[in-house]
Structure 1
Amino acid sequence: MSDEPRVLDGRYRLDELIGRGGMASVYRGYDVTLGREVAIKLLARELASDDGFRTRFRLEAQSASRMSHPTIVRVYDAGETTTTFPDGTVVPEPYIVMELVRGTLVKDLIGDEPLSVEDAVRITDGILEALQYSHRAGVIHRDIKPGNVMVTPTGQVKVMDFGIARAVSDGSSTVAETTQILGTASYFSPEQAKGETVDARADLYSAGVVLFELLTGHPPFRGDTPVAVAYQHVSEAPAAPSDERDDVPPIIDAVVSRALAKDPFDRFPDAAAFRGALASALRGVASDEPPAPTPTEVSDVLFAPSTREATATAQSLRRLSTTRATTRTSPAPTTLWIWIGTAIAAVVLIAVLAWVIAARAGAGAEAPPHTVPDVAQVAFTKASGTLSEAGFTVQQRAEASTTVASGNVIRTDPAAGTVSAQGATVVVYVSTGVPMVPVPTLQGLSQDAATSVLTNAGLALGAVTQQDDPTAKSGTVLSASSAAGTNVPAGTSIALVVATGKVALPDLTGFTVSAAESQLQKLGLTPAQTNDQTCTASKPPTVKVMSVAPGEVPIQSTVTLTVCVG
């Protein structure tokens, strides 16, 4: 079997395996075209021949590629390659190329000891920030758990693996309809466990489970089997984190309790409300965010104003009729009072009708909703015109990008496809191009140290060339493709010339002793001499034998020259 690394589509080199899931394997890889390290997710071979799984895998790429946010692992590219087995069977292998994230998984941060309350809230807030963005983009994660969240060395929270995410519009998709259980039982929402249709509030429940585990060191429900755990999610109330930790304030208990409500309508209505409650809890005050609306209240919100007003008017008229009916037993008023009452009722009725008509007209005059157009990768001037024509107010923000050309749009907030009111502000993130970083000093470092320095500087290790040097030990950097202090685009690959720790020793037999010693000294080698009395001496003395054979030898080696003196 060849030791050469596999290269997908002539561009993406597969290096070592760094993770494996039930559906795919993740490899550290290298984009030879752009010269940057990436992560490559490759569908398991035993599943790749199944059209259904391949479709699910492609949907993952499509869903994830729509999202560009600091808290979400970026998806750069997707494709499909093939593998031919010894029996001639050709199996397709879809793959996704993603941002390579360095950091620590939250499940490893938890370990044996729970985190501080502040750290637990900070990590949960990072998860909710990612969900706030993804939900607005129309994507539910469905598998929020500590194993899918990473914290980078800078403290940035990154949510990974939208591999089982589905578009919110795919409302018919339920757990019961799939061929495998989506998500992990310990982090299931009750509606997932029951096989019901789920929405964004299922992710908020899972985020609440993660917050509970960050505070206590374990999930709220545990059992011997996934079925037992799922049953607890549906039917049992979780304990309060403060029951296990004295330093958890009751106000945090309240936030966790609401996030873990069985009924989705009793939870936070969205990720922003959850984040607000956590921020308020850290300040020691109750959230100003009102309780989640009941199903009836949600329906009321969806009614047009004119419909609610007409309903209220009808109820008022019914109350008026009831009141008149209850007072009809009173003595009959005089004719004058009858006419006065009739006139007043007529005026009131006309006023009510006029008010209802005006309200309907006002509702009709309200600005109709508009859909935010997709202007990604478009020049800002053109994108601004497109958004203005669509009825939006444009606000520009600059942001560096390694994938979008300078002056072009990276993304918008709200995201493309979002329905917003006419005149709403759309924040347009415009690329300032690849950020420039200075090349650090690399000469004299070991190759491992140079690689670490490059990574910390936001650069990548390029091609490594071996070169003999009589004074540098093996692995020492002799030079780099860019001089120290030179500004280059972030992510640039820096090629290195590294010492082999050896020199090329020529064949010196037949050389005069003085010439051979001079040559050895130029190579940084130490000459020594031994005499052989069994052979006839020559004038001037010449080398008969070398103690070291010609070829690559370690630097500063000693080479003994045998000279005939007989």
Structure 2
Amino acid sequence: MAAEARVLSGRYRVDEPIGHGGMASVFRGYDLTLGRPVAIKILDAELSRDNAFRTRFRLEAQAASRMSSPAIVRVYDAGEDTEVDDRGTAHPIPYIVMELVHGRLLKDIIAAGPVPLSDAVRYVDGILEALEYSHRAGVVHRDIKPGNVMVTGSGQVKVMDFGIARAVSDSSSTVAETTTILGTAAYFSPEQAKGDVVDARTDIYSAGIVLYELLTGRQPFRGDTPVAVAYQHVSEAPVPPSELVDTVPRALDAVVLQALAKDAFQRFPDAAAFREALDAAVGGKDPSRREVDTLAHALYGPDPRQAAETARALRQLSTDPTMKRTQAGPPAAWIWAGVAVLAVLLISVLVWVLTIHPTSIMPSDSRIVPTVAGMTYADASQALEDKDLVAKRVDTPSETVDDGEVIRTDPAAGISVDKESEVSVYVSTGPEMTTVPTLVGLSRAQAEQALSEAGLELGQVRREDEPDTEADIVVTATPDADEKVSKGSSVDLVIATGTVTVVDFTQQGYTLDAAQDALKELKLTVKVQDDPSCPANDPRAVKSQSAGPGEVPIHSEVVLVSCSGGADSGDDSGGGDTDSGGDTDSGGDTGDQ
């Protein structure tokens, strides 16, 4: 006998396991309330014991649930159930309810063998599409890797586990501890490896690692321990992909090298810029190997002051396919002139460094947009004002964010902007309201169309006998017509079956009169036939019926047959009209005449 399925919070049935990671197990499940299949991620017991982690985990899951993009696996719900062990002690079980996606993990696709160049670019473009959306919503993923990317049967890329990495990293004290939980340091950014503050450019770096792996079949940095890999992220330069796989266009080397820059300011500023460069590289002319080598040296060289010049050269290299050298090297005179100019520049820089105030090294007109999601507009405006930024309120409806709370900002949190820049603050006005249309009297198809036009969903549909209503016509709707409800709400319908239920009048002890009354209440046409072949009862009963028992079309005709013969059913003269033959007084008068 199969064990009874586990149900979380009285709503989510947990079925068979479909995956397991470093911090959770994933199960196929079913939402008993909404009647839909889901995926349920249940956190491991060790993480569940940490109260701070559970709080952070719930908040991050709530933030992720506010995102709705085709490139992101939807988070429907996050909750906490309890489990009682053999000693009677209750333990919390945090879980996430997600969209159930049918497809393959990107890590399994990579493990299966070389990935065609067109597919590699398409997969990364899908990842960047998800990041472009999430960064606008103020959510940094922090754990972009092939194990967190699904590819559906139709080729759609879907990124999952938004916000969960932040809950983990905020509850971990060291790189080694964090990487143990997340599974691998191969996709860490240098700032994550060093424990520095991260922003959207961290996801750009990790997406660059994924692109590198798709192009070459291996990660750029590998080591025996997570700490060893983290050290390489911080200090070592990657080998350009085309040096490992000669079929990789060198134009993609430039894209990968910029995405993997150690200095976050040298990377692509956002996912949209990464996508544009990736698209241009696929169709553009390849730079020479010398140009790529020069670029790599500049990008990963020891002098940090070359960052701005390197970024400029990189942008030019990746967007201008017409660049070419006209000679093997500069004339000797130019070399000495260059040395002289370089000496002057070095002396000038030295004087500048010795004379400036230490705090003026960093640009004073640059600000990082703070995270204000979940605040009131007043608090968000103050937080932006504290950063010398100007808030601009934009009211917008939201199904998931409470009225008056900030949904996101544009530019997104973590993005660097100029001082006094205007930041749009999107504030929830609560769910968008709509009016329930008049549905009673419409066919089911017409009702569904009316609900769709009103921005409502069809809820439960119950079929019910209604004597005066044709099949598939709406009898009642809940909520009622003209009622104000949230857009996206469900409306339940009761629809006529087009039939009524007729009982067996011959077996239920019905008299002929009672049977006729019952059929008339069902709005059926009743016809009575007398059967003189059997003796009449007192009161008369139903011998047979032409329809039923069971479902009968509305407004049908039902013929009831009742015995009308005399006591001697074999006397033909007694088989006439019961009323006339039974009137003895009338018969006597006739005889006297």
* Alpha-carbon distance in 2 for matches of 1:105, 1:359: 57
**Which position in structure 2 is the counterpart of 1:143?**
145
Could you tell me how far 1:494 is from its partner in structure 2?
1.2
Change (3 A) 1:250 1:60: same
* Structure 2 SS opposite 1:95: strand
* Alpha-carbon distance in 2 for matches of 1:362, 1:259: 28
* Alpha-carbon distance in 1 for matches of 2:365, 2:183: 41
**Which position in structure 2 is the counterpart of 1:293?**
299
Matched, 1:93 2:93: yes
**Which position in structure 2 is the counterpart of 1:325?**
none
* Alpha-carbon distance in 1 for matches of 2:359, 2:218: 52
- Partners of 2:63 and 2:163 within 8 A in 1: no
Instruction: Give the AA of the match of 1:480.
Output: A
Instruction: Give the AA of the match of 1:396.
Output: R
- Partners of 1:459 and 1:492 within 8 A in 2: yes
Could you tell me how far 1:516 is from its partner in structure 2?
3.6
Could you tell me how far 1:36 is from its partner in structure 2?
11
Instruction: Give the AA of the match of 1:404.
Output: V
Change (3 A) 1:165 1:375: closer
**Which position in structure 2 is the counterpart of 1:384?**
381
Within the candidate set 344, 357, 360, 1:360 is matched to 357
- 1:63-74 aligned within 5 A: 63-66=60-63, 69-71=67-69, 72=72
**Which position in structure 2 is the counterpart of 1:41?**
40
Query: Per-residue displacement from partner, 1:397-454 (whole Å, max 9, x unpaired)?
Result: 34331133445421234556778775344331122432345657864227xx977986
* Structure 1 SS opposite 2:400: coil
* Alpha-carbon distance in 2 for matches of 1:398, 1:18: 43
Change (3 A) 1:196 1:7: closer
Within the candidate set 419, 423, 433, 2:420 is matched to 423
Matched, 1:394 2:388: no
* Structure 2 SS opposite 1:148: strand
**Which position in structure 1 is the counterpart of 2:409?**
412
* Alpha-carbon distance in 2 for matches of 1:84, 1:158: 35
Could you tell me how far 1:277 is from its partner in structure 2?
0.7
Instruction: Give the AA of the match of 1:29.
Output: D
* Alpha-carbon distance in 2 for matches of 1:424, 1:466: 59
Change (3 A) 1:19 1:490: farther
Q: TM-score w.r.t. structure 2 length?
A: 0.57
Within the candidate set 200, 203, 206, 1:203 is matched to 206
Instruction: Give the AA of the match of 1:296.
Output: P
**Which position in structure 2 is the counterpart of 1:341?**
none
Could you tell me how far 1:373 is from its partner in structure 2?
5.3
* Alpha-carbon distance in 1 for matches of 2:51, 2:413: 26
- Partners of 2:136 and 2:409 within 8 A in 1: no
- Partners of 2:398 and 2:428 within 8 A in 1: yes
**Which position in structure 2 is the counterpart of 1:491?**
488
**Which position in structure 1 is the counterpart of 2:161?**
161
* Structure 2 SS opposite 1:520: helix
* Alpha-carbon distance in 2 for matches of 1:257, 1:371: 25
- Partners of 2:61 and 2:164 within 8 A in 1: no
Change (3 A) 1:97 1:180: closer
* Structure 1 SS opposite 2:299: coil
* Structure 2 SS opposite 1:278: helix
* Alpha-carbon distance in 2 for matches of 1:499, 1:16: 36
Over the residues paired in the alignment, what is the CA RMSD in angstroms? 6.3
- 1:62-461 aligned within 5 A: 62-66=59-63, 69-71=67-69, 72=72, 78-83=78-83, 90=90, 92-97=92-97, 100=99, 123-130=126-133, 132=135, 137=139, 139-144=141-146, 147-148=149-150, 159-162=159-162, 165-166=165-166, 172-174=174-176, 178=180, 181=183, 189=187, 200=203, 203-205=206-208, 207-208=210-211, 220=217, 250=249, 253-254=252-253, 258=257, 269-270=267-268, 271-272=270-271, 273-281=273-281, 284=284, 293-294=299-300, 296-298=302-304, 359-360=356-357, 363=360, 367=364, 375-381=372-378, 383-413=380-410, 422-436=419-433, 443-445=442-444, 458-461=455-458
Could you tell me how far 1:482 is from its partner in structure 2?
5.0
- Partners of 2:212 and 2:241 within 8 A in 1: no
* Structure 2 SS opposite 1:491: coil
- Partners of 1:545 and 1:562 within 8 A in 2: yes
- Partners of 1:459 and 1:494 within 8 A in 2: yes
- Partners of 2:145 and 2:207 within 8 A in 1: no
* Alpha-carbon distance in 2 for matches of 1:538, 1:524: 27
* Alpha-carbon distance in 2 for matches of 1:143, 1:381: 37
* Alpha-carbon distance in 2 for matches of 1:517, 1:251: 90
**Which position in structure 2 is the counterpart of 1:520?**
519
Change (3 A) 1:221 1:174: same
* Alpha-carbon distance in 2 for matches of 1:264, 1:61: 32
**Which position in structure 2 is the counterpart of 1:307?**
none
Q: TM-score w.r.t. structure 1 length?
A: 0.59
* Structure 1 SS opposite 2:444: coil
* Alpha-carbon distance in 1 for matches of 2:361, 2:206: 36
- Partners of 2:145 and 2:206 within 8 A in 1: yes
Change (3 A) 1:295 1:251: closer
